[in-house]
Amino acid sequence: MSPDELAITMKNSIIGIPFPPLIEAMLMEITIELIREAGVRLPKPIGQTIGIVGGLVIGDAVVQAGLISNVLVIVVAVTAVASFVLPSFEMTSTIRMLRFPLMFMASMFGFIGISFGLAIILMNLCRLESLGVPYLSPVAPFNWQDLKDTVIRLPMWMYKNRPVYLNPQKKKQIEQLRGWTKKNEKKKYLHLKLFFFIIQSQIGVGILALPIC
C-alpha cells in the first residue's frame, strides 16, 4: 500500500488538468520524440544542449501552464532515460514505438491491458525466425545445453560444442580457431616445454665439456 501523503499528492497534481492521462502521456511522448529527433539531426554539441535545455524548459512550461501534471512529467522523463539502458539501437527504436499501443491498452483495460499487450508481443517474438533460427532460442524452444551463453556466461573453455539450435553439421568446435585452451592444457604444454628446455640445456653442457682434439 502506498502512503496516504503520496496518494494525496498525486491526486492534487491532476486537479485542474483539462486532459485525461492518456492524452497527457501522448503529448509528452510526442514532445520527447521531437526533441530526440532534433538532437540527432543537429551537430553533437548543440544537439545535447537542445535535448537538455529543451526538455527542462518544455517540462516546466507545461506544468506551469496547467496542461500536464508534474507527476506525469516525472514518469515520462524516467521512461525516456530508461530507454537508453538497452544496448541494441534497433531494439530501443522498437520499444519506443511499442509504448504507444501499450498506453492505449493500459488506458482502456488497466493492468490487464498491459499484461495482454505484453503477452501478444511475447507470442509474436516466439514465432519470429532469423535465417531459419528462432528469435528467442535457446529459451524458446527451450534447450538447456545452450543456456550457458544467455543470461549467465560460463568460462570460455567450456564452449567445446556449437549451439544446437543452429543445426551445425559438425557439433564440435575447431580447437585451432578458438585461440584459447583450458588451464590444464596450458599446464601440460608448459611442462613439455620445460622438459625439452632441460634436455637441450644438458646436451649443450655435455657438448661443451667434451675435450677439444
Length of the chain, please?
213
Give the pLDDT of residue 112.
92
Q: Are the CB atoms for 114 and 105 separated by under 8 Å?
A: yes
Task: Give dist(CA 31, CA 12) in Å, integer.
Answer: 24
Give the pLDDT of residue 208.
46
C-alpha cell at 10: 498525486
Task: Give dist(CA 107, CA 19) in Å, integer.
Answer: 13
Between the CA of residue 126 and those of 42, 111, 117, 139, what are the distances in Å? 38, 23, 14, 9
Q: Is 130 helix (H, G, I), strand (E, B) or coil?
A: strand
| Bond prior to 138 in cis (omega within 30° of 0) | yes
pLDDT tens per residue across all 213 residues of the chain: 567 777 777 777 777 788 888 888 888 888 888 888 887 787 777 777 777 777 778 888 888 888 888 888 888 888 888 877 877 777 778 888 888 899 889 888 888 999 999 999 888 888 888 887 788 887 777 777 777 777 777 777 777 777 777 777 777 776 654 455 555 555 555 566 666 666 666 565 444 444 554
Give the pLDDT of residue 213.
47
Can you count the helices (H) and strands (E) in the chain? 7, 2
